[in-house]
Amino acid sequence: MKRVIIVIVCLIALKGRAQNATEIVRKMDDKMRGKSSQAELTIKTVRPNWSREMLVKSWMKEGHYAMILIQAPAKEKGIVYLKRKKEVWNWIPALERSIKLPPSMMTNSWMGTDFTNDDLVKESSAVDDYYHKIIKDTIIDKRDCYLIEFLPKPSTAVVWGKILVAIDKKDFIEMYSEFYDEEGRLINVMIAHDIKMMDGRLIPTHIEMIPVDKKGQKTELFYRTVLFNRNIEDNFFTLERMKLLN
C-alpha cells in the first residue's frame, strides 16, 4: 500500500519502445510525476455495511511537495494536508490552526480510507526503491501488458515484500497491481478502470484498492479532472498558502 500513490498518479500514456523492466517503470514514473499534477477526485470508502464519499482537490510537485484540500463532506470541508519534503501539517479551519503531524501518524489510515497518510504524500520512487524484472506478458482488460515484479532494494525502508504490476505495453498505464507483504502473503489488489483522455494523457479515471483479506472492503478513486505539468511554484506548498486555500 506504501506505493499506492505512485500507482495512482503514474497511469500515463507514453508511446515508445520499452527496452527493459526498469526502463518501462521509468517511463511510467517520469510521466506520472511530470513536473506537477493537479486533480479533483472523489474518494469512496466502502465497507460491508456502509460507505462514505469524500471530495478532494490535490496539488503535487516532483514528489517533494503535496497539498490536499477536503471539499466535502461538510464537516471536514476546508481541512488541508500539506507535505514539504519530510514534514506534514494539517490545517483545521474550525480551529484556525495548523497541526504538525508526528511521523508515526504517516503509516496509519488516511481519513478512514484504505490509504495511509504516507500513501498520499510519499516521497519515494517506483524507479529507485525497487529492482524490476519482466515476469511475462499478460492481457488485462483487452490490453497487452508486461507483468513486472518489483522487489525492494535492501537500503530502502518499504512496507512491501513484493509488488507485481501489469503495465500496458502501448500506453504505459498501470492496469493492475498486487501488493505482497514480506512473508509473501497477498495483501492488496489495485485495479484500474475507465481509461480516458485527461489533459492530453490516457489515464484510468477509476481506481479500486482492495484489501484481499477483508471481505466487502475497498477504497475507490474517481478522477473528475486532472491537469499535468502546470507551473506550481514551490512557495505554493507553504503553511501560509495552506491557510489561504479556503
Interface contacts to another protein, rule CB under 8 A: 45, 47, 50, 52-53, 72-75, 77, 86-87, 94-98, 100-105, 107-109, 111-113, 234-235, 238-240, 244, 246
- Nearest distance from C-beta of residue 222 to another protein, angstroms: 16
d(CA 212, CA 220): 14
Q: Which three cell numbers stand for residue 144?
A: 497487452
Report in angstroms the alpha-carbon separations of 153 from 2, 136, 157. 14, 21, 9
Q: Which three cell numbers stand for residue 16?
A: 515508445
d(CA 224, CA 101): 29
- Nearest distance from C-beta of residue 211 to another protein, angstroms: 13
Contact 72, 52 (CB under 8 A): no
Nearer Cβ to another protein (98/229): 98
Nearer Cβ to another protein (100/136): 100
Q: State whether residue 86 is helix, strand or coil.
A: coil
d(CA 82, CA 165): 29
Query: What is the signed CA dihedral for 29, 220, 3, 237, rounded to 10 degrees?
Result: 70
Nearer Cβ to another protein (37/45): 45
Q: Which three cell numbers stand for residue 2?
A: 506504501
- Nearest distance from C-beta of residue 88 to another protein, angstroms: 10
Nearer Cβ to another protein (193/224): 224
Largest CA distance in the chain: 53
Nearer Cβ to another protein (12/68): 68
- Nearest distance from C-beta of residue 126 to another protein, angstroms: 24
For residue 152, what are the β-bridge partners? 130
For residue 176, what are the β-bridge partners? 166, 191
- Nearest distance from C-beta of residue 219 to another protein, angstroms: 10
- Nearest distance from C-beta of residue 118 to another protein, angstroms: 12
Amino acid identity at 143: R
Provide the 10 A C-beta neighbour count for residue 129. 18
**How many residues are listed for the chain in this entry?**
246
- Nearest distance from C-beta of residue 6 to another protein, angstroms: 22
Nearer Cβ to another protein (94/212): 94
